[in-house]
C-alpha cells in the first residue's frame, strides 16, 4: 500500500522539483492536508478529492507543464 | 448482508472519481470498510493480486470484488470500472477542448495530490489495526524495502513474507 502511494507520489515530487520550491511546498501541504482531513475530520473521500480539485485549479493553474503531466499520468496506469 | 445495487454504486463512485491505477483505493477502502462489507485483508490480497497479474493495475478492483462478494462482486466491479472509461469516450470530444486549460490541469494535479494523501490514510488505518504488532511491522518494512529496490520479483517478496510470517508467528 505504501509502495503504491510512493509510486503515485514520485512523478508529482519530480514535477514539484522542476517547478520550484513553492510549488513543491504547496503540493506537500495539499497532500498532507488531504490525509489529515480524512484521518481527523473523517470526511468522505469524494469530498476531499473534489476539494483538492478545486484548490488545485485555484493554486496550480498559473503554471502549465503538458509533457510532464502526460508522463505522470502514463506512469500511474 | 451486501446490497448489490449499493455495492455497485460504491465501486462506480470510486472509479468515476479516480485517475486510474490504484487511485480508487481510498474511496473503496473508506466505503467498504465503513459498511462492514470488506476486511483489511481483502484489500491487501487484492492489491497483491493486482500487482502480480498482467494487465492494467486498475484491474485489482475485480479481485477485491471477488474477495468481498464472490463472482457477483467481481462482475459488478468489472462493470463499475468499465463504465467511466465508456463515459470518457462519450465526453472525450468535449474534454480535448478543455484539457489544455490551466484550470483543468491544476484540478487534475490537485486530484493526484489528494490521491497520494488518501493512500497515506489507508496506510495509517492499516497500521492502527488491533492485530498489527512489531512482527507484522518488521515483515512489512522488509517487504517494502525489497519492493522499493525493484530488483526482487513481487512473487518472491510474497513468498519471503510468508516464510517470515511462519518463522515469526508459527514457531514463535
| Distance between CA atoms of residues A50 and A46, nearest Å | 6
Q: Please state the ipTM of this predicted complex.
A: 0.79
In tens digits, chain A (77 residues) has pLDDT values of 777 778 888 888 888 888 888 889 999 999 999 999 988 988 888 899 999 999 999 988 865 444 444 444 455 44
Which residues of chain A lie closer than 8 angstroms to B113, CB-CB?
Answer: 12, 27, 30-31, 34, 52, 56
Helix, strand, coil percentages (3-state) for chain B, rounded to 5, are 80, 0, 20
List the 101-130 stretch of B: residues with Cβ below 8 A of A: 101-124, 126
pLDDT mean across residues, chain B:
86
B/e letters for B98-116, b = 16+ CB within 10 Å, e = fewer, are eeeeebbbbbbbbbbbbbb
* Chain A residues within 8 Å of chain B (Cβ atoms): 1-6, 8-9, 12, 27, 30-35, 38-39, 44-46, 48-66, 69, 72-73, 76-77
B24-74 per-position pLDDT tens digit: 888 898 899 989 999 988 988 898 888 788 777 788 999 999 999 999 999
More confident position, B24 or B75 = B75
More confident position, B19 or A5 = A5
B107-136 per-position pLDDT tens digit: 989 999 998 998 888 888 778 776 778 888
A56-to-A8, B106, B143 alpha-carbon distances in Å: 17, 5, 34
Residue B33 near residue B40 (C-beta atoms within 8 A): yes
Residue B140 near residue A53 (C-beta atoms within 8 A): no
Structure confidence at residue B142 as a pLDDT band (50, 70, 90): very high
The candidate with the shortest Cα–Cα distance to A8, out of B115, B144, B26, is B115
User: Does the beta-carbon distance from B43 to A1 stay under 8 Å?
Assistant: yes
> Which pLDDT score, from 0 to 100, does residue A67 have?
43
| Distance between CA atoms of residues B32 and B169, nearest Å | 29
> Which pLDDT score, from 0 to 100, does residue B79 have?
94
Amino acid at each position: 500500500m505504501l509502495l503504491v502511494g510512493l509510486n503515485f507520489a514520485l512523478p508529482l515530487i519530480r514535477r514539484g522539483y522542476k517547478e520550484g520550491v513553492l510549488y513543491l511546498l504547496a503540493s506537500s501541504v495539499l497532500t498532507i492536508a488531504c490525509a489529515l482531513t480524512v484521518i481527523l475530520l473523517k470526511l468522505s473521500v469524494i469530498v476531499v478529492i473534489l476539494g483538492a480539485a478545486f484548490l488545485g485549479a485555484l493554486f496550480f493553474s498559473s503554471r502549465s507543464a503538458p509533457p510532464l503531466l502526460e508522463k505522470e499520468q502514463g506512469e500511474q496506469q | 448482508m451486501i446490497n448489490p445495487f449499493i455495492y455497485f454504486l460504491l465501486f462506480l463512485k470510486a472509479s468515476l472519481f479516480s485517475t486510474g491505477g490504484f487511485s480508487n483505493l481510498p474511496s473503496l477502502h473508506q466505503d467498504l470498510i465503513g459498511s462492514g462489507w470488506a476486511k483489511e485483508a481483502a484489500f491487501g490480497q487484492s492489491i497483491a493480486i493486482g500487482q502480480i497479474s498482467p494487465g492494467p493495475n486498475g484491474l485489482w478492483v475485480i479481485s477485491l470484488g471477488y474477495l468481498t462478494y464472490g463472482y457477483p462482486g467481481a462482475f459488478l466491479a468489472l462493470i463499475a470500472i468499465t463504465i467511466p472509461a465508456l463515459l470518457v469516450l462519450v465526453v472525450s470530444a468535449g474534454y480535448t477542448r478543455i484539457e489544455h486549460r490551466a484550470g483543468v490541469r491544476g484540478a487534475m494535479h490537485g486530484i493526484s495530490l489528494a490521491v497520494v494523501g488518501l493512500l497515506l490514510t489507508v496506510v495509517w488505518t492499516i497500521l492502527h489495526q488491533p492485530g498489527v504488532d512489531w512482527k507484522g511491522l518488521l515483515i512489512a518494512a522488509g517487504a517494502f524495502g525489497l519492493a522499493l529496490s525493484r530488483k526482487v520479483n513481487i512473487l518472491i517478496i510474497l513468498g519471503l513474507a510468508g516464510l517470515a510470517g511462519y518463522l515469526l508467528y508459527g514457531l514463535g
